[in-house]
Structures are given as structure tokens and as C-alpha cells.
Structure 1
Amino acid sequence: MKGIKRLAQDLNISIGTVSRALNGKSDVSQETRARVMEAAAAMGYVPNQAGRSLRKGNTNAIGFIYEGEVGTTGHGDTFFLGVFSGVQDVLSRHHLDLVVLPCPRDDDPTEHVRRIMARRMVDGLIVSATRRKDSRIELLNRAGIPFVALGRSSTPGTYPWLDLDFAGVAGQATDRMVAAGHRRIAVAVPSNDVNLGFVYLEGYKQALARHGIAFDPELVLRVASSEEGGYQAGHELLSMDNRPTAVLLIYELMAIGLYRRLNEAGVRPGRDVAVVGFRESSLSRFLSPTLTSYRISLRSVGVMLAEALLASMPDYAEHYPMGLVHRVLPLELVEGESDTTFVSAAGRRERDP
């Protein structure tokens, strides 16, 4: 407090104004905030965040619950690194820190959240890998802890969520394959209970129904969301008596394993089997043939997640008056060469001229 008093005296403004400027409050002008920050830096004054947190009962930190190893979900996946960047951009406006809270694959996700709550580590949470029935959501709702879910869930409750348009992508990709003459279209989805797999599969089923094509459960390949899962999907596809002419992948890095398994059998992706991935990634662009996929700005996803969370927190709601956020984020088609195969009326696989 002595540092704040000294700043107030030197600048000839009130202690309250200095405190609000240091805390980034919106009722302080940019000019005054700049004067306070400049004077604080010259004095070498650093706010006592620990003491402030004890007084206010908060931590000035937001947690991001992430399952798996820090940095990747597969060997080359940078999805969350891009999202983290957008989240931090928003949090920095309010002098909040992002704390990544990885949940090991062998840990129980609900118990992981329970420990975070017990230790009062953060003021709010971003929850990913949302399950169809997610006990973490029930736990956080009962405790009244602010959170936003990355992914929809059928779990009841009033909470914000954002999701990528898995159903829309599945429907568009299926329409694209049907337009090219394909009728036996396989789909690779996660083998776990993460809800995005159910949403994607429903979009695929609805698209088949639109085109009068019967749904065949044999064409649903439930594999791990990884390169190894893609290899397994390729193996299962090759083992079918009536092999599909096309396959849709919910996870872009599955394509790496799929390509390898198909090539081992002398089956060329893009020539003998049409392939459509989900999200465009740096690795998928260097596959041969290049992978047809869908694009979204990960930084923008992170920005929207952070803003949706802060909109639900009383201390920040005035900055983000959008209310309760429920939003599905569209993706943009990026045409590659992996789905240029089309099927003629005679059932032959051919290349587009």
C-alpha cells in the first residue's frame, strides 16, 4: 500500500485511481493509466499480487484443462498451442495469467477438476475434450465456478460453450463425396466418448439420408485420434470385402497413418481411395497427395473462448456484454488432391480430368 500512496502523491491523483489504473479498470482513462504505469515502472513498484489475491479472494489466473501431454495431442499436433495464444491475448488485457492444467491420460478427468477446485488454483476454467455426458460440467455447475466448455455436451446446465462445426464439416464432406459418385463412404471417428465424435457421426448420417444412402455401421471406423489410429483405420478399410471408395477423417493427423497403411498395400490415396480430413494442419499440407481439409483460425477460437468465459464472470462482464455464449464455429474448405478420385457409373475409380 505504501507504493500506491507514493504514486498517488507524486502524480497528485487519488489512491483509488492509482489502484484502478494498476488493475486495468475501464473507468480510468488511457492517459491516466499510462502516467501511472510509467511512474510505477520508474519507481520500480510491482503490485503485490499474492496479497491482493488474498484480500479479494481470487488468483488473477484462468486455467485451461487439457488432456494429454503439454503441447501436443499427437506427435505433430499444435491445435492447443494456437488456441492458448488467443486466450492469452484476451487475458493480458486484464492482467490475468493463463495456467495450463494438463490432465494425464491415466488420470480421472473429474478427480483432476476436483483437485483444482480444492486448491483454489484459478478464478475460472476452460474445459476441453467435452464428453457427451460430462461429470466435470456437473461438478463445476454445482460449485458455481465460472467455466466455458470447448465442445458441446448433452450434460444439462447453464454455462457457455463454443464448438467447431463438426456436423457441418461431416455433412459437407459427405455431400462432396456423393457428388463425385461415391456411395460407400467410410468415416473414422474417435473410439472414446468425447462428444465431437457423436456430433460428427450425426452430420455424416444426416448427409447420407439426404442422398438416399442407407447408413452402414460397418463403415464407421472407431480408432484413436492419432497417427496410429489412422494406420488402424487404413487396415480395417483394406480388410473389408467390399472396400469403400472414400473415407472421411475427423482428425487430420489420422491421414499420416492412413496414407502409410494404404501405400503399404499398393493402394494410392487420392487415386484408389478418396480422403477428406478435418482441420488443415502444417503437416497435412505436405502429404502427397495434399489433403483436402477445412481451415479455422485457432487464435480466433482462443479469443472467443476467453471472451465467453469473462462474459460469465461478474468482474469482467461489463467488458463483454454478449451474455451466455453458445456458438458453433464454421470452417472453410481447403481443396487438396486427396479427393480428386471420382467413381464412374460403371463403378470404376477415375481421376478428375
Structure 2
Amino acid sequence: MKGIRRLAQELDISIGTVSRALNGRADVSPETRQRVLEAAAAMGYVPNQAGRSLRQGNTNAIGFMIELGADANGGNDNFFMGVFDGVQSVLARHHLDLVVLPCPTGEDPAVYLQRMMARRLVDGLIISATHRKDARIDMLTKMRIPFITLGRSNTPGDYPWIDLDFDGAARRAVDRLVSAGHSRIAIAVPSNDINLGFIFLDGYKAALARHGLAFDPALVVRVPSSELGGYQLGHELLAMKERPSAVILNYELLALGLYRQLGEAGLQAGRDLAVIGFRENPVSRYMSPRLTCFRLSLTGLGAAIGEALLATMPAYAEAYPLGRTQRIWPMELVPGESDGA
């Protein structure tokens, strides 16, 4: 407290204003906050974070829960690193920290989350890999902990979420393939109950119906969302008695395994099988033939998630008057050569 009192005297402002500026509160002007931070740095003042958190009953940290074994955007690609960067860019404005909470493979996500919440590690939470019925949403709602989900769920409740446009991506992929003359189109979906797979499949079905094509369950291939899953996908497609002429992927790393399986069979994407991938990543840009896929801003997505979460927290709601966000994040089709168009 002595340090804050001295800062207030030096700057001729109230102790409360100094405290709010150091805490990144929205009710302090940017000019005042900058003066306080510069003076604190010049004096070598460092807030006692542990003591402050104990007094205020908060941690000044936001948790981001990911499931290490889930069929979701993550794993061995750059998806979450880009999203983390965007979230942290927002939290840094308010001197908040981002804490990653990785749920181990094989552990019940709800049990893991309950254990983390019991330790009071964070003030708010972002959860990903939402399931069709997600017990974590019910838990956080009952605990009245501010949260947002990366991905929709069928779990009832009026909670904030931002989701990738899985429905739109599936529809546009079918449209593109049908316009190129394909009618027997396969689709890869996750092998578990992650909700994005159901949304992706629904978009695919709706697009087929719009083009007057019958839905064939045999063309729905459920595989793990990984490079190995892509290799398995290729094996299953090539083993079909009546092979499809095209396939739509729900996950970026599937393309790597699929390309390898096709190559081992003496086949090539774009020539022998039209392939439309999901998200463009650094690897897909250098695949040959170049992969047709979808592009989105990961840092932009992360920033939107961070702002939407802070909008639900009383201390920051004034700075982010967004209300309760429920938003589909746009994706842009990037034409390549893998679909033979």
C-alpha cells in the first residue's frame, strides 16, 4: 500500500485511481493509465500480485481449456497458438494473463475442469472442443463463472460462443465439386462426439439435397482428426467397391495422410480424386498439388473471443459493450489444384 500511496502523491491523483490504472480497469483514461504505468516503472514499483488477488478475490488470469486427445482444431498444427496470440493481445490491455489448461487424453473433460475450478486458478474461462452435450457448460453456468465456448453445443442455455463456419464450409465445398461435375462426394468427420462434426455433416447433407443428390451414409467416413486419420481415410476410400470421385475434409492434417496414401497407390489428388481440405495452414500452402481449402484469421478469432469473454465480466463490460456474443466466424475459400477444378 505504501507504494501505491507514494505513486498517488507523486502524480497528485487518488489512490483509487492509481489502483484502477494498475489493474487495467476500463474506467481510467488511457492518458492517466499511461502516466501511472510510467511513474510505477520509474519508481521500480511492482504490485504484490498474490496479496492483491487475495484481497480482491480474483486471480487476474483467464483460462483456456483444450483437450489434448480431442478431434478438434489443435494437435500438431498452429491453430491454438494463433488463437492464443489473439486472446492474449486483448488480455494484455488489462494486465490479465492467459493460462492454458490442457485436459489429458483419456480424462473426462468435466472432471478435469471441476478440479481446476476448485483450485480457483482463473477468473474466467474459454473452453474449446465443445461436445454435442457438454457437461462443462452446465457446470460453469451453475457456478456463475464467466465463460465463452469456442464452438457451439446442443447443451441448452444462453451462453456466449464463437464457432468456425463448419456448415458454410461444407456447403461451399459441395457446391464447388458439383459445379465441376462430381456427384459421388465423400466426407470425413470426427470419430467422436465433438459437435463440429455434426454441424459439418448437416451442411454437407443440406448442400447435396439442394443439388438433388441423394445422401449415401456409406460416403461418410469417421476417422481421427490427425495425419494418421487422413491415411486411414485414404485406405477406406480406395477400398470402396464404388469409389467416390471427390472427398471433403473436416480437419487440416487429414490432407497430409490422405496425400501419402494416394501416392502409395500411384494416385494423385486433383487427378484421380478431388480433395477439398479444411483450414489453410503453413503446411498446406506447400502441398503438391496445392490444396483447395479455407482461410481464416486466427489472431482475429482469438481477439474476438477475448473481447466477448471480457464483455461478460462486470469489471470490463463497459469497455466491451457487446452483449452476449453468439457468432459464426467467417472462412474464405482458397482455390488450389487438389479438387481438379
TM-score of the superposed pair, with normalisation by structure 2: 0.97
- 2:303 corresponds to which letter in structure 1? V
CA shift in 2, pair 1:193/1:314, >3 Å: same
The residue aligned with 1:104 is: 104
1:5 aligns with 2:5: yes
The residue aligned with 2:285 is: 285
The residue aligned with 1:115 is: 115
The residue aligned with 1:254 is: 254
Give the Å deviation of 1:52: 1.1
The residue aligned with 1:306 is: 306
The residue aligned with 1:346 is: none
The residue aligned with 1:74 is: 75
Give the Å deviation of 1:340: 1.4
User: 1:164-220: per-residue Cα shift (whole Å, max 9, x none)?
Assistant: 000000000001111111011000110010000000000000000001111000000
Written as runs of structure 1 = structure 2, the 5 A alignment for 1:59-208 is 59-68=59-68, 73-75=74-76, 77-208=77-208
Give the Å deviation of 1:27: 3.1
Give the Å deviation of 1:107: 1.3
Moved more, 119-128 or 20-29: 20-29
Task: Report the 3-state secondary structure (helix = DSSP H, G, I; strand = E; otherwise coil) of the residue aligned with 1:318.
Answer: coil
Task: Report the 3-state secondary structure (helix = DSSP H, G, I; strand = E; otherwise coil) of the residue aligned with 2:256.
Answer: helix
Give the Å deviation of 1:33: 2.2
Aligned residues: 338
User: 1:38-58: per-residue Cα shift (whole Å, max 9, x none)?
Assistant: 221111111111111111111
8 Å CA contact retained: 2:292, 2:337: yes
Separation in 2, partners of 1:6, 1:119: 34
8 Å CA contact retained: 1:185, 1:246: yes
Separation in 2, partners of 1:118, 1:74: 27
Residue ranges of structure 2 left out of the alignment (5+ in a row):
none
Higher relative contact order (CA 8 A, sep 6+): 2
Give the Å deviation of 1:262: 1.1
Separation in 1, partners of 2:153, 2:31: 45
1:49 aligns with 2:49: yes
8 Å CA contact retained: 2:291, 2:337: yes
Separation in 1, partners of 2:19, 2:190: 50
TM-score of the superposed pair, with normalisation by structure 1: 0.94
CA shift in 2, pair 1:249/1:52, >3 Å: same
Written as runs of structure 1 = structure 2, the 5 A alignment for 1:267-282 is 267-282=267-282
Separation in 1, partners of 2:105, 2:201: 24
User: 1:11-56: per-residue Cα shift (whole Å, max 9, x none)?
Assistant: 2222122212212233333332222212211111111111111111
Give the Å deviation of 1:73: 3.3
8 Å CA contact retained: 2:160, 2:308: yes
- 2:265 corresponds to which letter in structure 1? A
Task: Report the 3-state secondary structure (helix = DSSP H, G, I; strand = E; otherwise coil) of the residue aligned with 1:83.
Answer: helix
Separation in 1, partners of 2:236, 2:266: 15
Show structure 1 runs of 4+ deviating over 3 A. Answer: 72-75
Separation in 2, partners of 1:193, 1:301: 23
The residue aligned with 1:351 is: none
1:38 aligns with 2:68: no
8 Å CA contact retained: 1:109, 1:136: yes
Residue ranges of structure 1 left out of the alignment (5+ in a row):
342-353
Separation in 1, partners of 2:180, 2:292: 14
8 Å CA contact retained: 1:74, 1:227: no
8 Å CA contact retained: 1:74, 1:253: no
The residue aligned with 1:348 is: none
Give the Å deviation of 1:291: 0.3
Separation in 2, partners of 1:251, 1:26: 39
Give the Å deviation of 1:119: 0.4
CA RMSD of aligned residues (A): 1.2
Identity %: 68
Moved more, 83-92 or 265-274: 265-274
- 2:66 corresponds to which letter in structure 1? Y
